[in-house]
Structure 1
């Protein structure tokens, strides 16, 4: 009897897994028709890194784990480098490099390089996804996964494209040129006629640094979590995987304090279009706070990733809030505070920003095992009461004065106690009904002192795909945001405030896609060790 019962359970589980896979496939296919924004993660920095939020004019110190979105700029000072992680690619910049995100969605990754050196490692290119780099001399599209380096020499009006693995097409004024693996091509001017394609240069210190970073990430297995989850590579080093009955394989962080709780070691920032966004200060603190769910079990917190077979969707913060400006929450001696706790497995996430039904379903079923019909019902009626599991966990709720929240101050330094009576009487919502302030957008008041010159910032570049308008300054959004605290502006509202980037030129649109100019075949390049190659000194930076 036990044998037949076990067999029946096995068949039932197999059928359920098959059903979930089919349902996820249909939802994935439906979502591919939608265009929605995505982010990159500022995953590593060394030296002074300056950050300029979209639409703003004040440069500040870059914050590790900050999500990078459309319109954001980064600048690396002398002897500084940074790394940006995306779902299927990694971008690394050398010192004295200016990089701007022109567009970042599920269908296009488009960045602008006006000075300096970057390496882009593309691990996968999904159907219909475009990777494009805009420079003063050309636009370059990546046609295959591979290892690409781009150097912009502003003083010599030159761009060098080096393809060690992969293949791409350079677009200039009314012409195009295919660059295959094993070639390094230097272009001056904008018509691609002035070019030289010698053998691959020797590896320099920047190349070797990039490859050492690759080795750190390549040793990590994506056995338990999708490799498209941004930041998954840090998990294995900083925690352990454990199988928990009912929940499957979960991840438990190693180096946290006894009374630590998720969403406590970090700060809140405001990101245009996304709303209130959590930025964790721990080196592993990206994936577990923007994907999956948190579970308190066996006297410890465990992160439960979403199902492997579903394409993961990023969320700014997977929490529920207690209080806000619409309710005077008593926190410690303060009469105005806000509190939150992490969502548990099976609990619906309701984005504060406007989304389609397909997106609403996908952002939930990709991050937790949950009934799709239930998710759809919540989408159609978001006033339904949700029973939250983690609100009952001792020390699971984090509460701070409202000023700490709005001013992007470190949460751990300002945690206060909240009474059980306050918790029971306060409303629970997935929207922090708090209007942001200018410091909320910057994330910090700390300036780095190093910024690129205006000539670098205002340099015209070529694009093949026209980017969307520039995000508006926060000052223009602020009045609208105060009318509905905590709710990001809709795409329609944002478009009314946006302006076109005057420093991009879409000349490549006139270029026929085929046939591009051919180049001799070259074998895929190996990456042996080599002595550092000398580099021309880039343009000086300015002091802020």
Structure 2
């Protein structure tokens, strides 16, 4: 009976555990998470528009950047944004940015002004960027620059290709990497494709920094894929440990560059973000560890550990692992009188908020306020309590902590709160500091024309269903492709007017305010490509055909070399045609004429360039000096470069090169090979009987006298063929001689290489021997110096007093 009862209990336990695990897994796979990015870098001033307060606040690094957030950068300011769907954005000065849609497959944002560069690093995400002049669609693996001015915008493809839809023509155009840019205003034209030098340098510097951060980073294996780009902060500020927690071992991260009594949610400040209080950290690892995962306190180590989130729930421990999702700050609130506090939540505890931020979040409703019990909080002993007046001040709560408050006092005297409202802080609705992220005051704010576009975008979001990748692709496919645009006239550089004005002038008409204009690209130049190690790889310069010139990239990234089309560039070697036309002024001398001096065929002839009208039997052209380029009169010769006519023509001789020989090694002139045959009477008689010119090895020989009347006998035909056989025999012998010379040259080069290596090895061994001797000499000198110094008194242990030497006695010095 007992066995049956145990079996039933075991079966029931397994069934309940299965239901719990299946419910947890279904909760993980529900796509209802709210994605929120972060501001990873700020240089200068970056302002955020608060819709609830209808005012602007100064934002800081590691602040959130989420749905409908609108930002405006100040003068000489730059910022970088990282979104969890692997979309990156960088903006320059006077840039107005608003995030419209953020999901696993779509990033939609509005850039109304300024300079920006967008990276789409995910193959599953489609990026749509709207402007007052049109919109740009970029798919996975593409990077582009966007310059939005007062009257026009320019799109430059940095990597890959993007599609641009212009409002002026209602047509789409493709902009590809290395090609011209696209300028859109009241018409569409083709730009020069140059970027701003200062802007491009800053982006290259940021790219090298991120490449260094992500190189050899072991923390990526512990994080989900959307968070792996942020793992460098864990590598630099702590270590991973295998910790036993809730009956199982887990990989947890522990900060090492903190104070001994450090607690989470103490170095930073709270700010109201879409009705919920968001943690703004002041630590390099604060954003990742305080908005994802959970903090756990290990009593055995008396330290806090961070438990990272996971994409899938482990079946063995489904309720103790924090699943993936962004949270403003996983804490529970408590208060009493003028004190306010918060408690870090354990992984299985519920978070209460106004929006479904992540898993295990209960949306707060005023009609049904849950009853909370402080005794159920696991880390109640680690509660952070401060005076209420310091809640929205400073960037560090450590100096204001109220310590030495035990658990019993907290349970008996403090009250739990689901969210912070007027019950917790009586002046909560009127305190304007609740939206601030820093104590810095703002003296200049964007004009209301900036706010008008923000409100129009908010109205568009409310009236339009959420966008997805398929809808963006379908809308883009319905737009017709425009014709290739014309070039932009010179001098039409885009300009921009900064809209930061004093607070009292923000509501005045924009037409009455005379703001100075600045050029978006004050230092135009070619875009430079860099390798991963930061070295210059190549310089991309699109064609610039203004003033009839063609811009050619030079070695220096900041300089240009302009070449007019009607003048050849003498600094580069010009390819030479294989067939050269003969010069009409100096005809080729006849073979065997009196002007040809007899020479021995065994002697090595000097290397000469081929004369005009003679064929070079090689796949490459010989290197010809500029002052030796003959004039080409053949129709087959290229007319791209005009070659200067040489003052002295080389002798008209035919040169040939054997297969496998170097380019500068040629055979001896063919007439020298035939010279012994040409002087024989048989050859002279054969020339008189030939009717047609004979061709030997591709060379045309002049014909002799006409054939006498009558038929040629067999003996005469044999005599005619005999010189040809002798010529072929001589040619074969010379080929063998050239092959032998090549082998000897190769052997000589191999011997020289072997000798050079032996010399290098001997030098290396000599250097090692010299270094070793120097080290031995230094050690010997140090030993001599130590022997000359008096020996200090020592505490001898393990010896009898009789075995010790007297203190006044010195060790004898042994001469070497």
TM-score when scaled to structure 1? Answer: 0.69
The equivalences for 1:376-387 within 5 A come to 387=376
Q: Could you say which residue in structure 2 is the equivalent of 1:322?
A: 334
**Contact 2:333–2:418, Cα closer than 8 Å, also in 1:** yes
1:403 is paired with a residue whose SS is: helix
Q: Using the alignment, how far apart are the partners of 1:468 and 1:302 within structure 2?
A: 40
Deviation at 1:208, TM superposition (A): 1.6
User: Could you give the per-residue CA deviations for residues 22-56 of structure 1, whole angstroms, max 9, x where no partner exists?
Assistant: 87775454x23x4x643221221122333333354
**Contact 2:138–2:161, Cα closer than 8 Å, also in 1:** yes
Structure 1 pair 518/175, CA: closer, same or farther in 2 (3 Å)?
Answer: closer
One of 411, 415, 421 as aligned partner of 1:424 = 411
1:344 is paired with a residue whose SS is: coil
**Contact 2:163–2:174, Cα closer than 8 Å, also in 1:** yes
One of 496, 500, 507 as aligned partner of 1:542 = 500
Q: Could you say which residue in structure 1 is the equivalent of 2:94?
A: 96
Structure 1 pair 260/60, CA: closer, same or farther in 2 (3 Å)?
Answer: same
One of 125, 148, 154 as aligned partner of 1:152 = 148
Deviation at 1:213, TM superposition (A): 4.0
State yes or no: 1:195 paired with 2:189: yes
2:459 is paired with a residue whose SS is: coil
Q: Could you say which residue in structure 1 is the equivalent of 2:307?
A: 304
Q: Could you say which residue in structure 2 is the equivalent of 1:484?
A: none
The equivalences for 1:108-119 within 5 A come to 108-119=106-117
1:469 is paired with a residue whose SS is: helix
State yes or no: 1:469 paired with 2:471: no
How many residues are matched?
436
User: Could you give the per-residue CA deviations for residues 410-439 of structure 1, whole angstroms, max 9, x where no partner exists?
Assistant: 423422236324312234455334445321
**Contact 2:120–2:142, Cα closer than 8 Å, also in 1:** yes
Deviation at 1:69, TM superposition (A): 2.8
One of 23, 40, 44 as aligned partner of 1:47 = 44
Q: Using the alignment, how far apart are the partners of 1:241 and 1:262 within structure 2?
A: 17
Deviation at 1:305, TM superposition (A): 0.3
User: Could you give the per-residue CA deviations for residues 498-526 of structure 1, whole angstroms, max 9, x where no partner exists?
Assistant: x99xxxxxxx9996534652899xxxxxx
1:306 is paired with a residue whose SS is: coil
* Aligned-residue CA RMSD (Å): 4.0
User: Could you give the per-residue CA deviations for residues 347-370 of structure 1, whole angstroms, max 9, x where no partner exists?
Assistant: 223231244xxx7xx6249xxxxx
Structure 1 pair 384/122, CA: closer, same or farther in 2 (3 Å)?
Answer: same
**Contact 2:346–2:378, Cα closer than 8 Å, also in 1:** yes
**Contact 1:40–1:84, Cα closer than 8 Å, also in 2:** yes
The equivalences for 1:19-168 within 5 A come to 26-29=26-29, 31-32=30-31, 34=32, 37-87=34-84, 88-105=86-103, 108-126=106-124, 130-154=126-150, 157-168=151-162
Structure 1 pair 171/343, CA: closer, same or farther in 2 (3 Å)?
Answer: same
Structure 1 pair 452/214, CA: closer, same or farther in 2 (3 Å)?
Answer: farther
More helix by share: 2
1:351 is paired with a residue whose SS is: strand
1:240 is paired with a residue whose SS is: strand
1:417 is paired with a residue whose SS is: coil
Structure 1 pair 232/429, CA: closer, same or farther in 2 (3 Å)?
Answer: farther
Q: Could you say which residue in structure 2 is the equivalent of 1:12?
A: none
The equivalences for 1:139-538 within 5 A come to 139-154=135-150, 157-173=151-167, 174-183=170-179, 185-189=181-185, 194-196=188-190, 201=195, 204-219=200-215, 220=217, 221-229=219-227, 231-245=230-244, 246-272=248-274, 274-297=275-298, 298-309=301-312, 312-323=324-335, 329=336, 335-345=337-347, 347-355=348-356, 363-364=359-360, 387-392=376-381, 396-405=382-391, 410-417=396-403, 419-420=405-406, 421-425=408-412, 426-433=414-421, 434=424, 435-436=428-429, 437-454=431-448, 458=452, 468-469=458-459, 513-514=477-478, 517=481, 538=496
Where structure 2 has 5 or more consecutive residues not aligned to the other structure, the ranges are 1-17, 314-322, 363-367, 465-471, 485-492, 503-816
Q: Using the alignment, how far apart are the partners of 2:24 and 2:116 within structure 1?
A: 36
**Contact 1:51–1:74, Cα closer than 8 Å, also in 2:** yes
2:221 is paired with a residue whose SS is: coil
Q: Could you say which residue in structure 1 is the equivalent of 2:10?
A: none
Deviation at 1:227, TM superposition (A): 3.2
Deviation at 1:223, TM superposition (A): 0.9
Deviation at 1:235, TM superposition (A): 1.9
Q: Using the alignment, how far apart are the partners of 1:453 and 1:468 within structure 2?
A: 18
Structure 1 pair 470/390, CA: closer, same or farther in 2 (3 Å)?
Answer: farther
Q: Using the alignment, how far apart are the partners of 2:209 and 2:446 within structure 1?
A: 26
Deviation at 1:201, TM superposition (A): 4.8
**Contact 1:98–1:113, Cα closer than 8 Å, also in 2:** yes
**Contact 1:158–1:188, Cα closer than 8 Å, also in 2:** yes
Structure of higher RCO (CA pairs closer than 8 Å, 6+ residues apart): 1
With 434-443 and 131-140 compared, the bigger mean Cα shift is at: 434-443
2:115 is paired with a residue whose SS is: strand
1:170 is paired with a residue whose SS is: strand
**Contact 2:157–2:177, Cα closer than 8 Å, also in 1:** yes
Structure 1 pair 459/424, CA: closer, same or farther in 2 (3 Å)?
Answer: closer
Structure 1 pair 259/23, CA: closer, same or farther in 2 (3 Å)?
Answer: same
2:295 is paired with a residue whose SS is: strand
**Contact 2:68–2:458, Cα closer than 8 Å, also in 1:** no
More strand by share: 1
Q: Using the alignment, how far apart are the partners of 1:22 and 1:37 within structure 2?
A: 23
